[in-house]
């Protein structure tokens, strides 16, 4: 496998921003601006590509996919991906002619093995065993790893001990990313399988079919059980509940008073805030993101929303969608539809859990260690701000702390500036030739064809934007949650601006992550530049019944903050009024 990590990291170490970016290797590389709309910090970049590729390589092989590798490279901190079919060279552009490919299926052992694996996957419903393994082994191991690292008293470590702890955090973060992507196929295949079959039977749009899954995703940015316990205690203590609702007080003061509140309220506030402190505010780069407790105002917004909910995720919404879709399914296929839906509902939570308990949890642990590194280095004049330490890799942490040499404070500050101010729009959308076509399902045996179609749908739904032309007063995207709504546009650069959202606003953002869940009950509609049918914004919009249009590309540039807009979640249009 190509060494894809070092050149981009070297580029990031230069004092001047690189504008002519070299291709990370031969073949076609596509920018993933939906998952990484801003650059990854240096620490995450040092561990992410290898763990990502190892996880993908494992899951593709275990499920019999015709892709052997889904390569990752970081250019300027941005993620580029390259798909490599089994046995194909890195610069392959599409499959060979059909007769040649059919002969390869017979002659190449690796291809024969993938076809046989696909048959076994559907016969045994392999995702069930993987979900059980996740619940009984993988998730508990990740939680235990997090607990062990957070139990360390960082202030009591000398510099060498802190460096060793940072190395352990890097290894743990790599494990989190590995397990996240090792569970890609079990979390996605049954969902894609449901949609592909149902669309074939009914002709319904995919967003309508996906509506059947509303209520199956735990829409939370973390600590839902502890939050429910605190809310129950607040309902039983009107004075404490009134403190939470009192908007004139500073958030820090409210949370501090809750922690010292006598009885069950104080105990449950401590349990909730302690659990929340282990999670990042958002999730795409948990090392670079502020921790949840670094944004007390958003914590309080979430608590108020849970105490006096305006809108909740509603499982009945999924049941109503299922009834509509099932009616459209021909009677001879309804039993199969029911079975496919049951499997998709079973695994749907894994999509969120593999991130929450993997890279989000362990990335937040690494951030805590790096902030301690940053405090020590800033005190010695080696860094401008403690938080700048997230833009050091583990080797640089060691040399700076123990030997006093490494990147200068100015060099690190430039990395921070690039990470905070650049956008996927600053990068080439692609390196190399246009991507080739996938192997047509009609060339494959039944099980392999079924898997190819299901995963093809999922990859497009997660990664591909609408790419539809708009006008000076409108934008177009994918309508992912039906309904029409007219309201005030609140254009946000990121999660750090969420406190600006007012009840009834139309959220307009480059993309959304877990932090945005705190304002969902307030929203009238959602519009994003990036994302597909299975993006975070699409899923949460369906959960809450909010009209949504995603993948508009230019919404944050066309729609002015404060403008009156009309959102049509059925047609995928957003118009200035």
Residue ranges and CATH numbers for the domains of the chain are 6-187+353-431 (no CATH), 224-307 (no CATH), 474-576 (3.50.30.10)
User: How many CB atoms are located within 10 Å of the residue 161 CB?
Assistant: 12
Task: Provide the token pair at 182.
Answer: 């090792």
Q: Which residues contact 105 (CB under 8 A, 6 or more apart)?
A: 111, 112, 115, 444, 445
CA distances from 500 to 340, 490, 494 (A): 41, 8, 11
* Closest to 561 in 3D by CA, of 518, 537, 527: 527
* Closest to 225 in 3D by CA, of 272, 259, 269: 272
From the number of C-beta atoms within 10 Å of its C-beta (0-12, 13-18, 19+), residue 156 rates as exposed
- The pLDDT score that the predictor gives to residue 157 is 98
- The predicted-structure confidence for 301-355, as pLDDT tens digits, reads as follows 888 878 876 666 666 788 889 999 999 999 999 999 999 999 999 999 898 889 8
Averaged over successive runs of 10 residues, the pLDDT of the chain (577 residues) comes to 38 48 92 88 97 96 93 95 88 86 92 96 98 97 94 96 98 97 95 96 93 76 78 93 89 91 94 78 80 79 77 73 95 97 94 87 93 97 96 97 95 95 90 88 95 89 66 87 94 84 92 80 90 86 89 90 95 93
- The pLDDT score that the predictor gives to residue 9 is 43
- The predicted-structure confidence for 251-263, as pLDDT tens digits, reads as follows 889 999 999 999 9
Kind plus residue range of the DSSP H or E element containing 74: strand 67-75
- The predicted-structure confidence for 31-72, as pLDDT tens digits, reads as follows 988 888 889 999 999 999 999 999 999 999 999 999 888 899
Helix 184-202 to helix 159-182 angle, to the nearest 10 degrees?
A: 30
Residue linked to tokens 């030997």: 403
């Amino acid at each position: 496998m190509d060494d894809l990590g070092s050149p981009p990291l070297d580029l990031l170490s230069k004092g001047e921003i690189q504008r002519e970016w070299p291709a990370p290797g031969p073949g076609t590389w596509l920018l993933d601006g939906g998952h990484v709309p801003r650059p990854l910090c240096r620490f995450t970049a040092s561990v992410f590509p290898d763990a990502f590729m190892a996880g993908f390589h494992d899951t593709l092989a275990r499920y019999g996919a015709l892709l052997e590798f889904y390569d990752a490279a970081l250019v300027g901190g941005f993620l580029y991906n390259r798909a490599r079919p089994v046995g194909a060279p890195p610069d392959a552009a599409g499959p060979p002619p059909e007769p040649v490919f059919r002969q390869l299926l017979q002659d190449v052992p690796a291809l024969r093995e993938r076809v046989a694996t696909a048959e076994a996957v559907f016969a045994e419903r392999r995702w069930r065993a993987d979900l059980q393994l996740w619940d009984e082994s993988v998730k508990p191991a990740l939680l235990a790893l997090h607990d062990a690292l957070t139990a360390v008293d960082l202030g009591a470590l000398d510099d060498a001990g802190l460096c060793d702890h940072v190395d352990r955090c890097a290894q743990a973060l790599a494990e989190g990313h590995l397990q996240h992507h090792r569970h890609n196929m079990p979390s996605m295949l049954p969902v894609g399988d449901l949609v592909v079959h149902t669309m074939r039977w009914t002709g319904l749009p995919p967003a309508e079919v996906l509506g059947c899954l509303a209520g199956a995703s735990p829409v939370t940015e973390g600590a839902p059980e502890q939050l429910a316990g605190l809310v129950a205690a607040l309902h039983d203590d009107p004075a404490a509940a009134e403190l939470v609702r009192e908007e004139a007080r500073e958030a820090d003061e409210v949370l501090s008073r809750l922690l010292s509140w006598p009885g069950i309220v104080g105990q449950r506030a401590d349990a909730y805030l302690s659990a929340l402190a282990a999670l990042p505010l958002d999730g795409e780069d948990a090392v670079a993101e502020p921790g949840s407790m670094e944004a007390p105002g958003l914590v309080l917004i979430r608590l108020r929303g849970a105490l006096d909910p305006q809108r909740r995720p509603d499982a009945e919404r999924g049941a109503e969608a299922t009834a509509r879709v099932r009616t459209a399914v021909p009677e001879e296929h309804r039993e199969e539809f029911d079975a496919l839906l049951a499997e998709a509902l079973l695994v749907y939570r894994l999509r969120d859990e593999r991130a929450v308990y993997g890279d989000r949890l362990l990335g937040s642990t690494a951030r805590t260690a790096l902030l301690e590194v940053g405090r020590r280095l800033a005190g010695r004049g080696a860094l401008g701000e403690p938080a700048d330490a997230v833009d050091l890799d583990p080797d640089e942490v060691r040399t700076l702390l123990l030997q006093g040499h490494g990147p200068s404070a100015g060099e690190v500050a430039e990395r921070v500036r690039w990470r905070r101010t650049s956008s996927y729009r600053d990068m080439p959308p692609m390196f190399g030739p246009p991507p080739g076509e996938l192997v047509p399902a009609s060339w494959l045996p039944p099980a392999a064809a079924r898997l190819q179609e299901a995963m093809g749908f999922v990859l497009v739904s997660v990664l591909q934007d609408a790419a539809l032309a708009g006008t000076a007063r409108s934008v177009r995207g994918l309508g992912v949650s039906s309904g029409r709504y007219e309201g005030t546009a609140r254009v946000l650069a990121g999660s750090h601006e969420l406190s600006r959202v007012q009840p009834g606003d139309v959220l307009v953002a480059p993309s959304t992550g877990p932090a945005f869940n705190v304002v969902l009950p307030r929203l009238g509609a959602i519009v994003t530049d990036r994302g597909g049918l299975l993006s975070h914004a699409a899923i949460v919009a369906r959960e809450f019944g909010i009209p949504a249009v995603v993948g508009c590309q230019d919404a944050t540039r066309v729609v002015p903050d404060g403008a009156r807009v009309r959102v049509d979640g059925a047609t995928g249009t957003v118009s200035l009024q």
